[in-house]
Structure 1
Amino acid sequence: MRHTARTAIAAAALTLLPQLAFAHTGAGAVHGFDAGFAHPMSGLDHMLAMLTVGIFAWQLGGRAVWAVPATFVALMAVGGALGVSGVEVPFVEMGIALSVVVLGAVVALGLKAPLALAMAVTGFFALFHGHAHGTEMPLDASGLSYGLGFMSATALLHLAGLGLGMTIGRFGEIHGAKVVRGAGAAVAVAGLGLVSGLI
């Protein structure tokens, strides 16, 4: 519970700091932050993956509650920098769709992965999400403010996933776990729809 509270505070701080930092900057910086913040919210694939990262982190518990989401945000920033710089990353859209399948499946199966493996898997998929954000940055946006925008939105989605897992978990150890795993299965099915092009 203390880990969850610490994560909530950190995510809130991450969300507020960019807004404070850009409160007195020009329109380009504000536009960049707004565009970056909106981008993860604009696609079902991004939203499902990022919410599921939060649920997965809650399911693992312990240090994973903050380490898994933090790894995703950090490596997504790396992917975003590659995208902005024009560095090609193969199979970006497929990587994003597969992230929904894989993350949904690990939640559905209730896999208790070692922390290092959980961080590696989520970080790997974060590169694809970040690259997509970076390549779609508006031409008139500041790269720094745009990056802070999509990192903040992602942190909020992770926090929402953590909160969702914690809320469902209150149904009880047995029933809560079943609901969470059912949600993971639904996410994995949606991911298969994204991979096949049906969604």
Structure 2
Amino acid sequence: MSRSSRGSPPARASDEEFDVEDVYDELEELEEIVDSPEELEQVRETMRVLRRTRPSRLLGRLNDSFDSRDVGEAIIGSFLFGIPMVVEDGTLDIGRFIAGNALYFSATLLFGFVLVYEILHAVEFEKVEEDLVLGVVPLRLIGIPVIAGVMAIVLMTIWGRVEWTTPLTAAGQVTVTAIVMAVGASLGDVLPGT
């Protein structure tokens, strides 16, 4: 019996006809209209599976939760981005300058937070339900700045880059370093292959 008489598998849809993002959008719409907890869980499980199987993009996809691998990626990203900041004297000058002006200090913190948020938002971190603290705050949005801040404090202290006898100046210097480290940490977490 020939292959054509047995029936051949259906032709695969072309890339123009089939878009994983369209399927994901449809599932999000379905998630809003299902009315039973079992159906909702089925839709969410399908979304989790689809999220894991999305094709590679410039920015990667996130795991279902912020786990030890993500912490490791954030530490590596922090370190790689932070080393030039730690050893550069310009960092100390900038930190000293913003420490003397509350508006500039606050603006610097806000700028750093927005950068990290936007990097994470590019990979839709807010949709990872398992990554929410108390069902509201994404753990990544807390974990990445904390990792970067701790790394900045530790490295700048043990390498003698800050003088804690002047805590306000030291805080400014550590903040400048931590912001750059947080950008590195968030990129380390979201870039594919890291």
Q: TM-score if structure 1 supplies the norm length?
A: 0.32
Give the structure with the larger helix fraction: 1
Larger Rg: 2
